Structure 1
Amino acid sequence: MIGSKGCSAQTSTLVFLLLGVAVVVAAARIGGRLARRLGQPAVVGEIAAGIALGPSLLGLIPGDPTSWLFPHQVRPLLGALAQIGLVLFMFIVGLELDMRLVRGRGKAAATISLTSIGVPFGLGIVLALVLYPHHDIVGGHRIGFTGMALFLGIAMSITAFPVLARIMTDRGMQHTAPGVFSLAAAAVDDILAWILLALVIAVIEGGSPAAIARIVALTAGYVAIMFAVVRPLLRRLMRWRERAGRLTPDILAVVVIGLFVSAAVTELIGVHQIFGAFVFGVVMPKVGSLQINTEIAERLEHVSVLVLLPMFFVVTGLGVDLAAIGPDGWWQLALVLVVAIGGKFAGAYVGARCSRIRGRQAAAVAVLMNTRGLTELVILSVGRELGVLSDELFAMLVVMALVTTVLTAPLLRIVYPDSVIASDVAAAERRRQAAGNRRRVMVVIANPTDSVDKLVRETTRAVDFAHGADLVLAGIVLPSRRTREVGTPAVPDFAAAADAVETLTSLSARVSGVATVCVMTRIVSATDHRVAAEIDDMAGNSDADFVLIDAGSAQLARGVTAAPVIVTSSGDGDPDDRHRGDRHRGSGHQGSRPDCVSATTESGILCITDDSRSGRTAILAAVGLALHRGQPLTIATPGSRRRIRSDVTASLGENIDLRVVSLAHGSEVHGSAANGGDANGEARLTIAPYSARSSDSPWTYTVDDHTSTSEEALDQRIARAYASDRADCANTGPGANPDPADDRDTTGTSGQIEATTPATPAATG
């Protein structure tokens, strides 16, 4: 009988636990979705949902649904699930905290971080002097002032790095000074805050100076072992994953085992398990390990975000009773908000100004650093576990965390509106450009995290086109496939950007034959429309004359109007193009003059063009190639040969070996696929690589000029682009070949350039 009753009680507890988990997950998803619709981070709605399931809202309904939905025997189980969720969450935060974000701006980041922690921490201690007489009794026992003061200081000074990253990405601020510096400062802030928390826990738990010293020494030793011993061992996971070709269950098991052992060790030391989880995430290799780290985070998020973290929200919400805040509590809450917002803003603003960041931008940094979110709740839950925060004070601080996070986005729109963001992004990218050569070519790289050797091979054609010009390597970083969730949004994108910058910088060191090299990256959404807009913006900011992109990524550049787009592709050509060329060659035109029917171009560059804007741009590009490669140029046109010769030689004179031939219906140009014009007005260029077998596999470029500015005359465009370069370009040919003019207007092809002999060594090393 007794066994039957025990079994029934266990079944009842299990049923309530399962029902409670279902309700919590549903409430968290609904709350997160509503928050996103209101323009807030999802974590705001999920925290609010957790509070709503507690006595603050659900508990006000007659019958107290909270008590029977979450009975007392179930709450410890929910608490255990919540702690596991926190351990996983803190590991992911550490995993995605890439200190390369601080590189090159460490001094400013440290200054902003120290002032944004120091000022609110000090004000938090002062606030404790006011609040301690009202909250000195916790659980029927008087607490010490020191523990409460230290925790109030930490609560005032925390910044939620993941939520800050999400807000910043949503506003497109990752390319601005406030975005860059606040992200770097928040990364330093995270490290300092968790170290400070460990010290505060040591002070509270240790009691005596000797015990405190022991905890601090053990913690320091633990951190040293993690970096000196564990981190090199974790690098072997990279090789393991490379051999397997995927994240295997065994690799994930090693990570999970290490994670929970690390959390258990810090709990035994006395500095809480979340510190061990965070440090284990930090020591995970970052350089060259984006793929495995993304896969690990993706697997763990499926469990922690969807199921376990909502348990933490409801456990927090069960301890928040807003109705229990008495008359004195509301002025205390107002004081808490003033100190939290004002202290953090003042500290971050002063640090930013000391780092020579302008006033408006410094204010934006200060607003961003006020984001607290889920990280604040983690700190507060630790304080409550240690018994230094009363229920009423805990509720006030939870409200403060919500309010400061909710206010960040609207305040940021006031302090740093979208128009200013766009202006600052443009100014920053223009400052990156080197002065000097007026011709600038931007090469779009849609896979900047590939190996440098692979990018060298893939960009050879594009870099060859930029010979003698200023080169801009523009990396487009697309977000990971997974949808970022609570607390850890967007951070892998920044890690990918850091990888991209390092890769493109290495690539730039292997580029030769260009005047200067500049590297820039953009993090964009996965939609082609958004990518095209970003490419257009980068081209405008960099004042590019041409935008080059590989044929495999050509769809990303559709709609670019800031500069002509040139798509590089294999010289084998499209089968349809070859068929069209065959048809042209098979229908000779009787009565055509011999020099208008055939032009031999094995030793130079051939441009087959029409009278469209793209066709004229093809001529402009062909002239530049001929000048900088020192090769003769043949232009085949259905229009006026005299006009084209005049346009080219007006500025360049005899500095270019030029031949202009007529391209009438049925004519054949030896060595080229003289295909008909495309319906979309694209002009095709072909040029051979700088290799011994260049004639075997010529390269093809497709020009698509949809620039929105009014078009100058061709001679003016050539003069503006190349007149200053002609003295520097070797001319090995005899000059312009005599060629009778042919003014017949006939239908022809798009612009096409072909070169079939090597001229110089490869443009990329």
Structure 2
Amino acid sequence: MIWSTVLAAGEGVDEHVISRVFLAIAIVIGVARLAGAVAKLVRQPPVVGEIIGGILLGPTLLGLFPGDLDELFFPTDIRPFLTVIANLGLIIFMFIVGLELDGTLIKGKERIAGVISISSIALPMALGSLLAIYLHRSHGVVDGEDVKILPFALFIGAAMSVTAFPVLARIMIDRGMYRTQIGALTLASAAVDDVLAWALLAVVLAVVESGTFLTWEFPQIIGFSILFAVVMIAVVRPLLARLVPAYQRAGRLTPNLAAIVIGGFLLASFVTSGIGIHHILGAFTFGAMMPRRDAHALNLEILERLEQVTVILLLPVFFVTTGLVVDIGALRASDLGVLALILLTACAGKFIGATVAARSQGVRPWRKAAAIGSLMNTRGLTELIILSIGREAGVLDDRLFTMLVVMAVLTTVLTEPALRLFYPDRMLARDVAEAQKLSLGLEDAFRVFVAVDDPADAARAVQMGCEIVGDERPSEIVLSRLVELGRTPELGGTSARLADITASMDAMAVLEQQVTDSGIGARVLTRFSSEPTRDLLGQAEANDIDLVLLGAGDSLDPGAAADELDRTVVVHGVPDEDASANRTV
């Protein structure tokens, strides 16, 4: 429908319409950047500010001024073009959401993450479906067409069940929660939730398209969807794996490689749109099929290439196309009670479902379980996408769409203060210390601090540390690895960063076992760092270290380290000498 409208509108487009599109985009970009900056000042993700900015550019704010400024800046004849731009932004965003999914985030937590995810989807789905029965009486007719109760109920339930994985991951990085067990568990649960929610949406869209389970059209859509998934897994994923050696040979993301990726997710979007389960699911699936093994640099460069145009241009246009439909001032007095009921259902379903499931899986105390429940209530842009699909499919009228958009914004805004209420900074700091075992050191022990650059090549350094300790008891070897954080792209990249930490911890566990097998106590410190040299010295100082063991290639100057710490510093693997050589400062 969108594409045919635009093609029809594109016949004989004059210069005036084109210039108005450019003016509208310029306005949207300026407001989005300003609103995002304001959101960051009040501890909210920038995307929240950009969503609110898009809403304010519609009748909610501009429509209140004389002259209908929303119609003046965004006239009807340019809106089809803005819609295409917005949908391109959604396709790229959904590709990145799929790209962000990484199985290493779930490794070792499959059972508990699965229980939390299923519970945090099932309860809001059930409560949302019950609420839909009540809402259907006053919102069951859209543009003069009756909406069947089954697709209406399923869609409202699905809308209540979503968690915005990218926004959740961003909040966790901003607060440093990735360094705690609760943070890792929440991220794993959200990753499972993301997959289940989009699979659920595919089924719901099949029902919406067919109208019921009982027609031939429904099994046809499901059958083609399954066939699409099988082809993506069995054919497309192995082909995409060839991108990694091609990228490594070129040493960069070449135009040809970028064209394969971009053309691929656009083609996948076309296929799922033809199937009847919406084009965004094709882009999401293609992103999920991207290679993970040895592909971190490739995926990060793809993300960085797509980020600027998507964050600055495409997604803000989506926010304003949504805002042009949202008119909060047009809500009736009776709608405020309905809005309160929607908010209660959305918050209670996600929070109770995730919190109770976390408690049942042994998360203690209840405040930590509540922190998981609070984070799983994050909806953000992901919810807006689903609601826009519902309105486009004729399931939601404008009033109900407005109330659900308000719910999406408020639940996301409330996530950060709720998280600080249940999981305050003092508790977070204590858990970080516990996760790193900083409080479990031996009181009077001979400690050797081993700085690990690459865990795969650190076995010799660990062995040397054990040899230095010798028969000294009590003793302990502290293994430290700092992963340089660098810049995290606005659009994504958070799960890739967190996956780095997860992989690092797994590799460091092998080195820890090597130490304990020697009968020596061991502790592992691993985390992100924007200033590795400073933090490495800080760790050595804080842990009452007797001797520091550095690699010859470490950026830390051994002489400066010895002077600052007033400790012996041993440099191993000195270049151009025997592999066992070392230098003591």
The residue number in structure 2 matching 1:368 is 375
Of residues 232, 236, 247, the one that matches 1:230 is 236
The residue number in structure 1 matching 2:582 is 699
The residue number in structure 2 matching 1:738 is none
Asked if structure 2 preserves the Cα contact closer than 8 Å seen for 1:525 and 1:531, the reply is yes
Of residues 145, 150, 155, the one that matches 2:149 is 145
Distance 1:313 1:184 in 2: 28
Per-residue Cα deviation, 1:13-56 (whole angstroms, up to 9, x for no partner): 10000011111111111110000011100011000000010000
Map 1:295-694; keep pairs closer than 5 Å.
295-358=301-364, 359-430=366-437, 439-446=446-453, 452-453=456-457, 455=458, 465=468, 470-481=476-487, 483-486=488-491, 488=492, 490-505=494-509, 514-515=518-519, 520=524, 522-527=526-531, 531-532=535-536, 535=539, 540=543, 546-550=547-551, 553=554, 555=556, 682=566
Per-residue Cα deviation, 1:517-559 (whole angstroms, up to 9, x for no partner): 867464434145873597369x64xx8655544465565xxxx
> 1:248 Cα deviation (Å)?
1.1
TM-score (norm 2): 0.89
TM-score (norm 1): 0.69
Asked if structure 1 preserves the Cα contact closer than 8 Å seen for 2:484 and 2:531, the reply is no
Distance 1:394 1:137 in 2: 13
Letter of the aligned partner of 2:399 in structure 1? Answer: E
- CA distance change for structure 1 residues 431 and 394 in 2, over 3 Å: closer, same or farther? same
Letter of the aligned partner of 2:256 in structure 1? Answer: D
Per-residue Cα deviation, 1:138-160 (whole angstroms, up to 9, x for no partner): 11222111122111111111111
Asked if structure 2 preserves the Cα contact closer than 8 Å seen for 1:497 and 1:521, the reply is no
Of residues 55, 62, 66, the one that matches 2:66 is 62
- Seq. identity, %: 43
Letter of the aligned partner of 1:385 in structure 2? Answer: E
Letter of the aligned partner of 2:180 in structure 1? Answer: T
Distance 2:159 2:333 in 1: 23
Aligned-residue RMSD, C-alpha: 3.2
Of residues 247, 250, 256, the one that matches 1:250 is 256
Distance 2:523 2:229 in 1: 36
The residue number in structure 2 matching 1:211 is 217
The residue number in structure 2 matching 1:10 is 14
Distance 2:100 2:342 in 1: 31
Distance 1:332 1:466 in 2: 68
Query: Aligned pair 1:27/2:31, yes or no?
Result: yes
SS in 2 for 1:441: strand
Map 1:104-115; keep pairs closer than 5 Å.
104-115=108-119
Of residues 188, 192, 205, the one that matches 1:201 is 205
Asked if structure 1 preserves the Cα contact closer than 8 Å seen for 2:62 and 2:68, the reply is yes
Asked if structure 2 preserves the Cα contact closer than 8 Å seen for 1:461 and 1:568, the reply is no
> 1:340 Cα deviation (Å)?
0.6
Asked if structure 2 preserves the Cα contact closer than 8 Å seen for 1:54 and 1:318, the reply is yes
SS in 2 for 1:100: helix
Asked if structure 2 preserves the Cα contact closer than 8 Å seen for 1:56 and 1:321, the reply is yes
- CA distance change for structure 1 residues 101 and 72 in 2, over 3 Å: closer, same or farther? same
Letter of the aligned partner of 2:412 in structure 1? Answer: T
Asked if structure 2 preserves the Cα contact closer than 8 Å seen for 1:471 and 1:514, the reply is no
Distance 2:479 2:190 in 1: 28
Distance 1:18 1:692 in 2: 61
Of residues 180, 187, 193, the one that matches 1:189 is 193
Map 1:65-144; keep pairs closer than 5 Å.
65-144=69-148
- CA distance change for structure 1 residues 475 and 16 in 2, over 3 Å: closer, same or farther? same
Query: Aligned pair 1:49/2:53, yes or no?
Result: yes
Letter of the aligned partner of 1:700 in structure 2? Answer: R
SS in 2 for 1:331: helix
The residue number in structure 2 matching 1:758 is none
> 1:361 Cα deviation (Å)?
0.7
Query: Aligned pair 1:239/2:245, yes or no?
Result: yes
> 1:477 Cα deviation (Å)?
1.7
The residue number in structure 1 matching 2:3 is none
Deviates more, 1:496-505 or 1:123-132: 496-505
- CA distance change for structure 1 residues 62 and 436 in 2, over 3 Å: closer, same or farther? closer
The residue number in structure 1 matching 2:6 is none
Distance 1:109 1:513 in 2: 31
Letter of the aligned partner of 2:345 in structure 1? Answer: V
Letter of the aligned partner of 2:239 in structure 1? Answer: L
> 1:351 Cα deviation (Å)?
0.7
Map 1:703-718; keep pairs closer than 5 Å.
none
Q: How many residues of Structure 1 are paired with residues of Structure 2 in the alignment?
A: 570
Asked if structure 1 preserves the Cα contact closer than 8 Å seen for 2:142 and 2:397, the reply is yes
> 1:439 Cα deviation (Å)?
4.3
Distance 1:279 1:7 in 2: 34
Letter of the aligned partner of 1:102 in structure 2? Answer: I
Asked if structure 2 preserves the Cα contact closer than 8 Å seen for 1:154 and 1:193, the reply is yes
- CA distance change for structure 1 residues 370 and 536 in 2, over 3 Å: closer, same or farther? farther
Asked if structure 2 preserves the Cα contact closer than 8 Å seen for 1:462 and 1:568, the reply is no
Task: Extract unaligned runs of 5+ from structure 1.
Answer: 1-5, 556-566, 575-613, 619-677, 703-765
- CA distance change for structure 1 residues 131 and 379 in 2, over 3 Å: closer, same or farther? same
- CA distance change for structure 1 residues 406 and 360 in 2, over 3 Å: closer, same or farther? same
Deviates more, 1:24-33 or 1:163-172: 163-172
- CA distance change for structure 1 residues 14 and 420 in 2, over 3 Å: closer, same or farther? same
> 1:175 Cα deviation (Å)?
2.1
Of residues 269, 273, 283, the one that matches 1:277 is 283
The residue number in structure 2 matching 1:38 is 42
Asked if structure 1 preserves the Cα contact closer than 8 Å seen for 2:547 and 2:570, the reply is no
Letter of the aligned partner of 2:367 in structure 1? Answer: R
Larger relative helix fraction: 2
- CA distance change for structure 1 residues 328 and 244 in 2, over 3 Å: closer, same or farther? same
Distance 1:53 1:212 in 2: 39
Query: Aligned pair 1:263/2:269, yes or no?
Result: yes
Distance 2:237 2:268 in 1: 13
Asked if structure 1 preserves the Cα contact closer than 8 Å seen for 2:100 and 2:493, the reply is no
Distance 1:280 1:113 in 2: 23
- CA distance change for structure 1 residues 697 and 188 in 2, over 3 Å: closer, same or farther? closer
Letter of the aligned partner of 2:140 in structure 1? Answer: D
Asked if structure 1 preserves the Cα contact closer than 8 Å seen for 2:368 and 2:423, the reply is yes
- CA distance change for structure 1 residues 410 and 7 in 2, over 3 Å: closer, same or farther? closer
Using CA pairs under 8 Å that are at least 6 residues apart, name the structure with larger relative contact order, 1 or 2.
2
Asked if structure 2 preserves the Cα contact closer than 8 Å seen for 1:550 and 1:568, the reply is no
> 1:506 Cα deviation (Å)?
5.8
> 1:502 Cα deviation (Å)?
4.4
- CA distance change for structure 1 residues 310 and 568 in 2, over 3 Å: closer, same or farther? same
Letter of the aligned partner of 1:188 in structure 2? Answer: V
